[in-house]
Structure 1
C-alpha cells in the first residue's frame, strides 16, 4: 500500500469517522484503550503496523527498524506496564531516521520534551522517568505481532491516530472503510452546517416524530427511527 495514498485519504478524516465506518462495514472497531493519547496534542499518524514486543531491551526496536518500510508505525507491546518507560527520545529519533510515520506504545514513554522537539508523532499511555530495570526472555515471534489492549495487530493492519486516540483497521479493507468514512464525514459536516444556520439536530432528525412513535410503540428505538429515514450513520 502506498503511504502517500494512505496519508491523503486519512488527511480529511478523523478516527471517529473511521470507527463509524468500521461499524457500517461490519469490521471490528479496534480502538486502543482510552488512556492512549498523543505526547504532542494535535499529532496525527497513519501507516502500516510495524510490531515489536518489548522485553526490557531496546534492541528489538532496532531490529524492527531494519525491516521497516517508509511510513510504517512502530507499535510497541509492553503489556500496558505502568512501572517503566520503554521508549525514549533516542528510539523516537531512530524511528524518524528510519522513515517511520510514528510510534504507538502499549506502555509508557519518557523524555517527553525531547520527543516533542523531534516532531515524530508518538502515542502512549503516559510518561514515567525510569526506563526498564528487567530483562525477560524474548519470544521468537517478537516482531510478528503486538498486543494493544485487547487487540493483537500485525503487518496486515494499519494504525491511525489523532486527538481522539488510536484505531487499527485491516489494510485489505482500507479502501472500503475510507470511502464509507468520507460519506459519513460529509453527512456530519452538512448536519453541523445546518445547526449553525439555525436548523437544530432535533429538527433535522424529526425528533418530535420519534417521540410520538415511541409513545405509541415503546420498543421503537431512535436507531429504528433513523433507519426508517435513511439517516442511521453507523449502518
Structure 2
C-alpha cells in the first residue's frame, strides 16, 4: 500500500478510503464506463457486438472493483441503466465537466442518478406497424428491418389496414407458429386503426383472415423491454 500515503487515494485504478466513499469518488470510474458506450459506436457493431460489450467488458469492470470494494447499490443500478440504454437504444449520460469543482460534480452526478433511477429519461413512443405500408403482406420482418426496433414497456403499436380484408389477433407462441387463434380467448382487433399499448415480454400478433398469416407473412413477434 505504499502508493497510498494519504486517504482517499487510488490504487490499481480503484478509489480507496479509510471512510465510506462518496458519490463523487466514483465519478472517474463511471466516466470510464461511459467512454465505452458512446453513441457513435452503434454504427460500427450489431446487436451481438453490443451484447458482448455490455456483458463482458462492462461486467468485468464491475467485477474488478468488487474484488476490493463493497459497491453501493445505487452504483449497480446506475451501471445497469447505462448498459441497457446502450444495448437497446442510444442514451448517453454526461457526468459533470472536468473543470467543475468536485463538490459541483458530485451534485451533478446525484441529479443524473435521480433522473435515471426514477425512469425520467424514458418516454413512450408510437410504432406504426409496417411503416408506410401498414399491416400487410411481408410485414413479418418489420421489427428488425430496416433497423432493430427497441420496443419498451408502455410504447404503442399502431396497426393500419383495410378492415374488410384484415384483422389483428394477439396470440401465444403456438398460435404464432401455426397461424391460428390460440388460446381460444385470444384478443381480436378489427377497427382498421388499432392502438395497442405494450407490456413487457414476448408478444405475438397475427392476421386471422383467410391464409394471410400462413402464406402472406402477415404476423409479427417482438420482445418488449422494461
Asked if these proteins are the same fold (TM beyond 0.5), I'd say no
Structure label with greater radius of gyration: 2
Shorter-chain TM-score bucket reads under 0.3
- With normalisation by structure 2, the TM-score equals 0.25
Structure with greater strand percent? 1
